[in-house]
């Protein structure tokens, strides 16, 4: 139920901030703004404040917006009003007005990340689960239960780790950069040791669950408990009760919930249900329970399921920062996310990363609903991420975007002459075609994810 209102609120806020950036700087530069619109198409609400030349509009389709300024290229302008027209402004003013929209989105991201840092957010503790065999983590000697103290790319200064999210972020950046990652671990006996994950050996086309599965770090450590069972499911049929702690499966020792989930999934790999012998600790007594996982299809692969919650809630920490530290970390986070977004776009352009990374409105709406359901801080993090993406996307040198106009102004600044109208028309047509192609790919990816789930 939250998906549609959360999506509309997110898109409307991000577009409003973007257009407000253009609007405020245009007024500061002495340009007359005729209309400030959130959305396209038929206006559903409009108003014009007293002593203002600007009409404010809410339109039917919220996936966009615009600021219409007085401009001789769009309509004749009286001689007495020419000084208020956008096209008559000096180059520095036009650059500032155009750049203000994307920069407003990046500033919003900083503010949102800072708010999350100041409010505090509950995050999983940086304790590693048992890695699957033949993964980078397994080959590096990680057995599960280790707490990560510091991490970073090989050859760089290691940063302190506060939560499991810090580990995931370090792996994401290193994966895209093709760099190895070093982890400093605290083992169960209190000893420190460091391990090297050779991510440079992995081909990285998508930053998704499959990448983390190949690394062997999928989720935080959790006790291998059985939670609520589903009616008619394999777990209920076998006689499992809420709170049963699994000790082993077919003689293989089970240490944490992630390992148990993996063993259950693997049981259906051959497409045939196979009965397993589980040793379970219940109220201090050791029991043997025989369970036959149900076989299901996921992404074209056969997996096993027992229709029960598997794994206890991981250790949760409250991560909160002070006013200055929270703001500084918000700036760093926004910078890092912007650089990561640009790098991913560059890899997609050169074919090093899959176009499946492009997401459209359906995926964004889905994430909006899910993040809103998880609470305010998760929704703010989602808004910050989309705001960074919107700001960076609009700075790309595509003719129909703000970055395209900045590209024209760069040419004007270097040559002293504006881009010829014939060239501008061709570039605009090419830009529209490229943007439509990107939108088609995004929508195709959305629909593919919808059917895959």
Give the three-class secondary structure for 145: coil
Instruction: Count the Cβ atoms, other than its own, within 10 Å of residue 161.
Output: 21
Say which residue the tokens 């998704």 belong to.
208
The CA distance from 314 to 206, in Å, is 26
Report how far residue 218's alpha carbon sits from residue 130's, in angstroms, rounded to the nearest whole number: 9
What residues contact 90, with CB distance under 8 A and at least 6 apart? Answer: none
Q: Specify the DSSP element, H or E, that contains 365.
A: helix 361-374
Rounded-to-integer distance, Cα 162 and Cα 164, Å: 7
Between CA 48 and CA 62 the distance in angstroms is: 20
Is the CB of residue 381 less than 8 Å from the CB of residue 368? no
Active-site residues, by number, are: 19
Q: Are strands 245-249 and 226-229 parallel, antiparallel or unpaired?
A: unpaired
Which of helix, strand or coil describes residue 228?
A: strand
Question: Given CA atoms 371, 335, 202, 355 in this order, what sign does their dihedral have?
Answer: positive
Given a contact cutoff of 8 angstroms between Cβ atoms, the answer to whether 62 and 16 are in contact is no
């Amino acid at each position: 139920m939250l998906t549609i209102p959360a999506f509309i609120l997110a898109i409307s806020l991000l577009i409003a901030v973007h257009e407000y950036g253009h609007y405020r700087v245009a007024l500061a530069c002495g340009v007359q703004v005729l209309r400030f619109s959130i959305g396209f198409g038929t206006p559903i609400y409009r108003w014009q404040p007293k002593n203002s030349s600007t009409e404010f509009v809410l339109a039917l389709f919220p996936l966009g917006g615009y600021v219409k300024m007085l401009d001789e290229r769009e309509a004749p302008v009286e001689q007495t009003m020419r000084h208020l027209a956008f096209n008559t402004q000096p180059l520095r003013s036009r650059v500032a007005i155009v750049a203000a929209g994307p920069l407003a989105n990046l500033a919003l991201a900083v503010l949102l990340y800072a708010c999350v840092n100041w409010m505090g957010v509950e995050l999983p503790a940086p304790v590693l689960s048992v890695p699957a065999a033949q993964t980078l983590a397994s080959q590096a000697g990680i057995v599960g239960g280790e707490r990560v103290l510091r991490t970073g790319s090989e050859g760089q200064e290691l940063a302190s780790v506060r939560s499991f999210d810090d580990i995931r972020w370090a792996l994401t950046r290193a994966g895209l950069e093709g760099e190895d990652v070093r982890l400093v671990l605290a083992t169960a006996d209190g000893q420190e040791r460091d391990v090297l994950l050779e991510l440079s050996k992995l081909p990285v086309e998508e930053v998704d669950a499959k990448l983390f599965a190949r690394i062997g770090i999928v989720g935080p450590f959790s006790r291998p408990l059985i939670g609520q069972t589903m009616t008619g499911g394999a777990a209920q049929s076998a006689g499992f009760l809420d709170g049963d702690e699994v000790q082993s499966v077919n003689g293989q020792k089970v240490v944490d919930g992630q390992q148990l989930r993996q063993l259950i999934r693997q049981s259906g790999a051959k497409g045939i249900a196979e009965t397993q012998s589980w040793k379970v600790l219940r109220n201090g007594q050791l029991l043997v329970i025989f369970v036959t996982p149900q076989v299901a299809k996921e992404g074209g692969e056969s997996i096993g399921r027992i229709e029960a919650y598997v794994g206890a809630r991981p250790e949760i920490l409250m991560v909160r920062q002070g006013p200055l530290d929270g703001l500084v970390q918000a700036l760093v986070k926004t910078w890092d996310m912007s650089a990561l977004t640009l790098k991913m776009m560059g890899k997609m352009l050169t074919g090093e990363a899959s176009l499946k990374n492009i997401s459209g409105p359906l995926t964004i709406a889905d994430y909006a609903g899910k993040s809103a359901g998880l609470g305010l801080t998760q929704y703010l993090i989602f808004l910050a991420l989309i705001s960074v993406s919107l700001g960076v996307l609009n700075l790309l040198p595509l003719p129909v975007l703000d970055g395209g106009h900045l590209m024209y102004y760069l040419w004007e600044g270097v040559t002293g002459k504006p881009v010829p109208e014939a060239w501008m028309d061709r570039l605009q047509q090419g830009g529209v075609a490229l943007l439509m192609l990107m939108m088609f790919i995004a929508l195709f990816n959305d629909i593919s994810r919808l059917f895959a789930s």
